[in-house]
Amino acid sequence: MDTRLVAGALPLATRFLAAPVRAHVCAINRFASSLAVDPPAGEAEGRFDRLESGLAALSAGRRPDLPVLCGLSDIVEAYALPVRVLHAMVAAARAEWGTASYASFAQLAACCHRSAEPRGELALLVLGQATVERVALSRFIGAGTCMLGHVLTAAVDWRAGRRYLPMDELDRFGVAGSDVNGWRAALLGLQAERARALLECGAPIVATLRGRQRLAVAAHLARCRATLVALERGGYQVRQWPRPSAASVAGHWARAVVRSAG
C-alpha cells in the first residue's frame, strides 16, 4: 500500500503530541513506511529475513545491525513494547508483497486488517492508551486507512501489475485487461464507502481518549474523512492524488473533537 495517506495525516496528528512522544510515533511510522517500499527484484525475501533476524536480536536484548531497526531499540525498551507486534508488521508486509491480486473483498479486507492491526497497537502503546477496547477500535481505523490507500493508488498499482481491488468486482464492473482508462467511478466509489464504514466503526475511540491523544487521533480521522470527500467530489478519478483543503480537514477535525466531548 502507498503510505502517502498516512504520511499526509501524520504531521497534523503528531502536532498535538509532546515532542518525545511525537518523535517515537514518527519513528514507528518510518519503520512501517519502509516495509511498504518495493525492494529490488529478487531481494524481497532476503530483506524480510534480515528484518526478522534483527527483531529476534531485539527480543534477546541485543542491538540489531539494521539501521531501520536501530531507531526502534530505545523505543522498545522505553515502553516495554512487545516485539511480537513488530514481527506482525513484517509478516503482514511479506504477505502483501507476495500477493499480486485478491480474489474477493473478503481477501482484501483481511489484508487491510492484518497490515493495520499491529501499527495501531504500537501507536496506542506509545501513547500510553492501549486498552482492549481501544486496540479493537484502532484496528478499524487502520483497516479503513489501508483500504482508502488502495483506492487512491488503484491506477498506479494496476500499471505495476498489482490487482489490489477485488478481482470478482473488477469483472462485475467491466474493468478488464490493462485499460486504466476503464476505471469505473462506481467501482472505486464502492471501495471508498467500505473504507469510510471501517473508519466510522473505529471513530468512537476518540471519545475514549483525553487531551493531546484525543486531538491527535481526531486529526488522523479528519484527514481520512476529508480525503474521502475530495475523492467523491472529484468523481473518484484517482489518476491524480486528491488533496483535501485545509478548511475541509479542519472542519472534520473540529466536528470529531466536539462530538467526542459529548
Total Cβ atoms within 10 A of residue 26: 15
Tell me what the mean pLDDT of segment 91-120 comes to: 89
Q: Does the pLDDT of residue 200 top 60, yes or no?
A: yes
Instruction: Report pLDDT digits (tens) over 4-22.
Output: 454 445 556 778 888 888 8
Tell me what the mean pLDDT of segment 243-250 comes to: 86
Q: Which three cell numbers stand for residue 144?
A: 479503513
Q: Does the pLDDT of residue 166 top 60, yes or no?
A: yes
Residue 178 confidence (pLDDT): 54
Residue 262 confidence (pLDDT): 61
The region of weakest confidence among 35-39, 122-126, 227-231 is: 35-39
Bridge partner list, 163: 101
CA 204-210-215 angle, 5° bins: 75
Tell me what the mean pLDDT of segment 176-201 comes to: 82
Tell me what the mean pLDDT of segment 58-62 comes to: 87
Cβ contacts of 175-183, under 8 Å, gap ≥ 24:
180/155, 180/239, 183/154, 183/155, 183/236, 183/237, 183/238
Q: Which range has the top average pLDDT, 4-8, 84-88, 252-256?
A: 84-88
3-state secondary structure 124-156: HHHHCCCCHHHHHHHHHHHHHHHHHHHHHCHHH
Q: Does the pLDDT of residue 41 top 80, yes or no?
A: no
CATH number, domain with residue 193: 1.10.600.10
Bridge partner list, 101: 163
Residue 177 confidence (pLDDT): 58
Residue 2 confidence (pLDDT): 47
Confirm if 34 and 69 have CB atoms less than 8 A apart. Answer: no
Residue 136 confidence (pLDDT): 94
Instruction: Report pLDDT digits (tens) over 220-231.
Output: 999 999 999 999
Residue 261 confidence (pLDDT): 73
Is the pTM value of this prediction over 0.85? Answer: yes
Percentage, residues of the chain above pLDDT 70: 90
Q: Does the pLDDT of residue 245 top 70, yes or no?
A: yes
Q: Does the pLDDT of residue 244 top 80, yes or no?
A: yes
- The count of structural domains within the chain is 1
Q: Which domain holds residue 94?
A: 4-260
Q: Which amino acid is at 89?
A: M
Closest by alpha carbon to 225, among 145, 157, 158? 145
Concatenated DSSP letters for the chain? ---HHHHHHHHHHHTTS-HHHHHHHHHHHHHHHHHTSPPPTT-HHHHHHHHHHHHHHHHTTPPPSSHHHHHHHHHHHHHT--HHHHHHHHHHHHHHHT-SB-SSHHHHHHHHHHHHHHHHHHHHHHHT---HHHHHHHHHHHHHHHHHHHHHTHHHHHHTT-B-S-HHHHHHTT--TT-GGG--HHHHHHHHHHHHHHHHHHTTHHHH--HHHHHHHHHHHHHHHHHHHHHHHTTT--SS-----HHHHHHHHHHHHHHHT-
C-alpha span between 76 and 27 (Å, rounded): 11
